[in-house]
Structure 1
Amino acid sequence: MNPSTTVQNMLANKRIVVPAYQRAYSWETPNPTSTRTTQTDVFLSDLEDYRTSSARSPYYFGHFLFEEKDGKYQVIDGQQRLTTLTLFLSALFKCLKALRPLSETEQACYADVIRTPHVIRFNTVDYDNRVFIDYVIDQVKVDHGGLSTSSSLRIVNAFDYFNDQLKHKPEAYLCRMLDIVCQAACTTHRVQDEAEAIQMFIFQNNRGKRPSNLEVVKAQFMYAVHLRGQDDDHKEMLISEIKDRFEQIYKSIASIDYRIKEDDVLLYTLRVQFNSLWESDSLDKIDKLLGQDDSLVFIREFTQALAASFLHLCNFFVAHEKKHFAIHSLVMLGGIGIVLPFIIKAYNFKLPMPEIESLCEAFEGLIVRHRLIGTRADITSRISHVYERFTAQNPQIEPILTRINQLKIAEDPWTAYWNNENLRVALNREIHHSTAKHLLWKYENHLNSGGQQGYNPRRYDAIEKPELEHIAPTTEPKTKPHGYGKYDDTFVSEYLNCLGNYLLLSKPHNCSVGNIAFSKKLLSYTYLTQQREIAELCGDKPLWGKRAIDRRHERIVDVLMEQL
């Protein structure tokens, strides 16, 4: 592999693969509902800028690091660019073939950069490679079903994005883009062995765009095995085990993507492993542990624990969230990081689901109180002792539940921050909309239950795009009479932004009512029980003023005081 070459020559007659210690494909594609610039968007934009420029020098694709092993070139640095490059070229060839057969020169180029009948030039990580080949290279898969990792979803999304951007372009445009990319300049460097490759990976990525902490830890573990393994057989066994564990981890990540960050799970696993909620710097802690004599023992135990944590949280956020309402309610609340080490322990100890649900209910109330009251007091220091006593030898949740209940009624200055008195005060203030929506959803289920046992509550995601409506609009309607009472200083400052004037609506419903008269709004309040309750509170006269808001506010607060 020549140090200075072109993209086509770099790929030609090679088999390039992404090794197991590399991070999965992480580049995002543009979202039609967002203006945020993504990496694939920049990739295409840079090519377009070059195409329309008068530059005479070739386009430059950057530097790539490889390790040659068993007739293959493993990518150390540059795999995100190489993956994207292959996605783009595959989409480009697809669009060109839709216009006409490839010329002999183009066929040769395709064989150099994509595949021959028997050799695929670039392969991604093992757990994504089947999807990569079927969807991108061979294009025999045309749907998004069966994607087992979030990175495989990014792969198919990026291919679709490039295909959508190129499919309406004229032949001349596609040919010019093909020439720009294949003749683009790049530089390469080849390392000597896997140990140096892993070391270079860590070195490169700590000085460029950093991978996740989880990916760094994976590389560090494999490098430590190469340094400290007893012999080749011992090293191979441990490396194989690490790869297997991380394959399990990536499959779990796919299911919980966007629910929780992978680096947070790494931190929570450390908190479980060392039975302390005070662990805060994953990389620093692991660096120190890798410097000890028994580091290989730690690596095996921790990778096993890490895989278990991801699997447990996959079950918690996906399978069990769908079946158990208390879990669903906690997950919908969000911002539940303080709970998850407890949850991982509960799954490790194989506690029955009713006990896990009890933990979720108790912590949901505490988190909501903390969010509403807005204190800077630290919860961790008030519950760390019950966490440390929650062990495999003593897997009892009662001390945890007791401690949380104590915090709700405490009067001493150190623990009284989240007590009932402060909660009631907070409920009578203006509440952040995201929290208010959660509270009104709980109120909705209270109204629907009618005090009945065994009632099947409504899931939050059963409401189409829930939004918060001000029944009396924040801006007084110009048309009068509007039915909202007098917009005096007290009404504006104390009534408009309180729970009594907030209503849970679906987004389409909220958009349809707007700043209209109350009598018209009232006719549309038919879907949720709390909407229909508004008519009852008004009585015979459709007036939504201070008295009606007070009555509804008191009802909601009384219910929430019992539930939280």
Structure 2
Amino acid sequence: MNILKSSIYDLFNGQKAFRIPVYQRAYSWDRVNLSQFLDDIKEASQGKNEYFFGNVLIENNSDIIDGQQRITTILIFIRALLDILPQNMSEENNFRKDFILEDFLIYRNVPKLTVIEYDRDYFKSLIINGDDDKSNPSTPSQVRIKEAKEYFKTELKKLELETIKSMYYTVCKAQIITIPFENKKDSVLMFELQNNRGKSLTNMEKLKSFISYQIYIHAQNKQQVELKLSEVIGMFEDIYRELKNINANEDSVLRYFNISKFGFTYREDDPKLNYKKHLKEQCFESHEVIKWIDDYVKNLKNAFLDFKEFEKTEYIKQFRALERWEVYPFVIKAYSMLRQNSQELVQVFKALEIIAFRDRAADTRADLASRLNSALDFSNSAELVDKLRKICNGDMTIQYWGDERISANLTNINDIKLLNYIFVKYENFLRQKHSTKRGYVFENNVKDPQIEHISPQTEPNEKLASGYSEYDQIFFEKYINSIGNKVLIAGSHNASIGNKPFLDKLSSYNEADLMQLKEVCSFATDNKIWDKKAIEKRQISLVNFIQETWRY
């Protein structure tokens, strides 16, 4: 192994051209990385010390195994520099736009760098050819490439020409150490080892490199290697394109998918508990490994497509409001079996919303994931509902998600998000009962929605005390924060009533659009006093609504 030291200029000079292999990660640098890169160049250009660029691992003098993020960034920087230089600039020595273009971007129509396949055309258009208008970014990495170029252009425009020239020459003279490899299998293995030594890669990128390595090892010949790599990378390309249409990051969906396949004991960073374990246990021959990879990646791609479809449903808003990630593996599993049966899918989503709500409302420290593990083995919605019902009502678990636990927790509830969720559902329930409101779906379009304490949190003075219960110890312990004493209200409405007497509040409630505000009067003692009895009546009514709404 020959370790070579050279400059960045020497690395690119002449007919040299590099490519980023399929198992490598896409471009991932963000504003923090770019700012540090620019600061380093500025600092080095102002001093006499050489700028050390770092190590780059290269296979067969062309494939960049490690260092591709820095190499890509340098080319983006060069393109930004060329874009902001005057068109008619005529400089001596090597600071000429045509020279810079040939040295770093394209030489005799051959790009100096070819990035991973699914970003290749975009990078060539935007960076190599400098065409800003030809295409829009379609993957997260393409967005980062565009943002990097725009950031560099913005920052370079702030500088004097002499400063820009100095920074350019600093990049040219920056020292780099190249470590060559000749065997592709060793190159991919080295990338795997780099992943395990603290490189900041996403789990999806680690998966992609692992799968590529397995293909190199187990494919029968070079033709099968190329065929399988092309198929796999094509599927990853589809996944990355879909990420723009999904409001979840790649690693989250990957995690949900793997749990849906392997259970809640799955651990992404533990080779004894992740996909590597399952591959090792299920495959003993090379053709079995290739078949496993084919099936796994196809199903993974479908999981991303299915998750995109799920985000079009009303249930995604509910699940996100309840903040229980444990339901998403069930969503992935349900789509894989019931993709063509929309009615069955809806039943699954309803069942999952119930367990998510009950876990949030019970406010228990019980580990939901471990207790849901057995329920992952379902084949239809009825089977899942039955398993979730047993989890909620079983002798060992009723203490966590049963009616008594939920009812007790609603006596003193301060979870604002959950209260909002409940009261939006309750508003819809009331509107469906009311003849003039029936069919209208309320989605909490209240301006600045807040949770109002009907009996104020601080005891009113004597002048304003009319209509409220005595603020004794029992009232503070059992009534002040109970759900029976809380209601959804607009922020401006809440501010206008403050600690006013109950009758004044009641008058404003009756003029409001929300049905639950109008309904408060029906619980008040003698229609004018908001005491413990009134709060208890409303508490019972709301608890009954909750238990009936979120019951299997």
Bucket of the pairwise TM-score, normalised by the shorter protein: 0.7 to 0.9
Shift of 1:381: 5.1
2:199 aligned with 1:209: yes
1:561 aligned partner: 547
Percent identity, please.
25
| Partner Cα distance (1:328, 1:315) in 2 | 16
2:84 aligned with 1:101: no
Match of 2:237 among 247, 251, 260: 247
Q: Give the match's secondary structure for 2:190.
A: helix
Report the TM-score when normalising by structure 2: 0.80
| Partner Cα distance (2:470, 2:19) in 1 | 68
Q: Give the match's secondary structure for 2:204.
A: helix
| Partner Cα distance (1:477, 1:243) in 2 | 68
1:346 aligned partner: 335
Shift of 1:122: 2.3
Match of 2:400 among 393, 417, 425: 417
Return closer, same or farther for 1:235/1:552 CA change in 2, 3 Å cut-off: same
Q: Give the match's secondary structure for 2:110.
A: coil
Shift of 1:437: 3.5
Is the CA contact (8 Å cut-off) linking 1:252 and 1:310 kept in structure 2? no
Aligned AA (1:561):
Q
Return closer, same or farther for 1:481/1:349 CA change in 2, 3 Å cut-off: closer
| Partner Cα distance (1:302, 1:380) in 2 | 27
Shift of 1:398: 0.6
| Partner Cα distance (2:90, 2:543) in 1 | 71
| Partner Cα distance (1:546, 1:130) in 2 | 70
Match of 1:62 among 30, 36, 54: 54
| Partner Cα distance (1:463, 1:40) in 2 | 42
2:223 aligned partner: 233
| Partner Cα distance (1:125, 1:438) in 2 | 44
Unaligned segments of structure 1, at least 5 residues: 30-37
Is the CA contact (8 Å cut-off) linking 1:24 and 1:151 kept in structure 2? yes
2:351 aligned partner: 362
Is the CA contact (8 Å cut-off) linking 1:272 and 1:345 kept in structure 2? no
Cα distance per residue 1:312-353 (max 9 Å; x no partner): 34333x33432x323442344333334424533433443511
Shift of 1:77: 0.7
Shift of 1:20: 0.8
2:201 aligned with 1:218: no
2:116 aligned with 1:125: yes
Aligned AA (1:44):
L
Cα distance per residue 1:365-420 (max 9 Å; x no partner): 111211232323344554444432x2xxxx32212112223444x26234442111
Is the CA contact (8 Å cut-off) linking 1:430 and 1:498 kept in structure 2? yes
Report the TM-score when normalising by structure 1: 0.78
2:498 aligned partner: 518
Shift of 1:244: 2.4
Shift of 1:477: 11
Return closer, same or farther for 1:448/1:229 CA change in 2, 3 Å cut-off: same
2:64 aligned with 1:78: no
Aligned AA (1:26):
S
1:399 aligned partner: 383
| Partner Cα distance (1:524, 1:81) in 2 | 63
Aligned AA (2:425):
K
Cα distance per residue 1:108-158 (max 9 Å; x no partner): 123212334623222322112223233344443459x85332222222223
Q: CA RMSD in A?
A: 4.2
Is the CA contact (8 Å cut-off) linking 2:218 and 2:290 kept in structure 1? no
Cα distance per residue 1:200-228 (max 9 Å; x no partner): 11122221324233322322222223223
Is the CA contact (8 Å cut-off) linking 1:5 and 1:187 kept in structure 2? yes
2:449 aligned with 1:457: no
Match of 1:153 among 143, 162, 173: 143
Q: Give the match's secondary structure for 2:364.
A: coil
Aligned AA (1:174):
I
Map 1:163-182 → 2, pairs under 5 A: 163-182=153-172
Shift of 1:11: 2.5
Return closer, same or farther for 1:102/1:92 CA change in 2, 3 Å cut-off: farther
Shift of 1:311: 2.9
| Partner Cα distance (2:306, 2:38) in 1 | 38
Cα distance per residue 1:15-51 (max 9 Å; x no partner): 222211011122233xxxxxxxx32333334344445
Q: Which has the larger radius of gyration?
A: 2
| Partner Cα distance (1:60, 1:370) in 2 | 54
| Partner Cα distance (2:467, 2:53) in 1 | 63
| Partner Cα distance (2:511, 2:249) in 1 | 32
1:32 aligned partner: none
Q: Give the match's secondary structure for 1:189.
A: strand
Q: Give the match's secondary structure for 1:63.
A: strand
2:425 aligned partner: 442
Is the CA contact (8 Å cut-off) linking 2:24 and 2:65 kept in structure 1? yes
Is the CA contact (8 Å cut-off) linking 1:18 and 1:125 kept in structure 2? yes
Shift of 1:362: 1.2
Return closer, same or farther for 1:396/1:542 CA change in 2, 3 Å cut-off: same
Cα distance per residue 1:277-334 (max 9 Å; x no partner): 4333563344345555225424433443334334334333x33432x32344234433
2:360 aligned partner: 371
Return closer, same or farther for 1:313/1:348 CA change in 2, 3 Å cut-off: farther
| Partner Cα distance (1:529, 1:352) in 2 | 39
Shift of 1:360: 1.2
| Partner Cα distance (1:441, 1:157) in 2 | 40
Return closer, same or farther for 1:489/1:563 CA change in 2, 3 Å cut-off: same
Match of 1:300 among 277, 283, 291: 291
| Partner Cα distance (1:487, 1:126) in 2 | 72
265-274 vs 85-94, which moves further = 265-274
1:278 aligned partner: 265
Is the CA contact (8 Å cut-off) linking 2:57 and 2:181 kept in structure 1? yes
Cα distance per residue 1:524-543 (max 9 Å; x no partner): 9999954x744663799999
1:43 aligned partner: 37
| Partner Cα distance (2:412, 2:106) in 1 | 65
Return closer, same or farther for 1:236/1:119 CA change in 2, 3 Å cut-off: closer
422-431 vs 514-523, which moves further = 514-523
Return closer, same or farther for 1:185/1:438 CA change in 2, 3 Å cut-off: farther
Shift of 1:192: 0.6
Aligned AA (1:369):
R
532-541 vs 104-113, which moves further = 532-541
Return closer, same or farther for 1:204/1:447 CA change in 2, 3 Å cut-off: same
Is the CA contact (8 Å cut-off) linking 1:440 and 1:503 kept in structure 2? yes
Is the CA contact (8 Å cut-off) linking 2:60 and 2:182 kept in structure 1? yes
Unaligned segments of structure 2, at least 5 residues: none
Is the CA contact (8 Å cut-off) linking 1:484 and 1:545 kept in structure 2? yes
Cα distance per residue 1:462-482 (max 9 Å; x no partner): 778x7655568878999x979
Q: Give the match's secondary structure for 2:178.
A: strand
What is the count of residue pairs matched by the alignment?
530
Shift of 1:504: 5.9
Cα distance per residue 1:397-449 (max 9 Å; x no partner): 212112223444x2623444211121112223234333333333333433444
1:15 aligned partner: 17
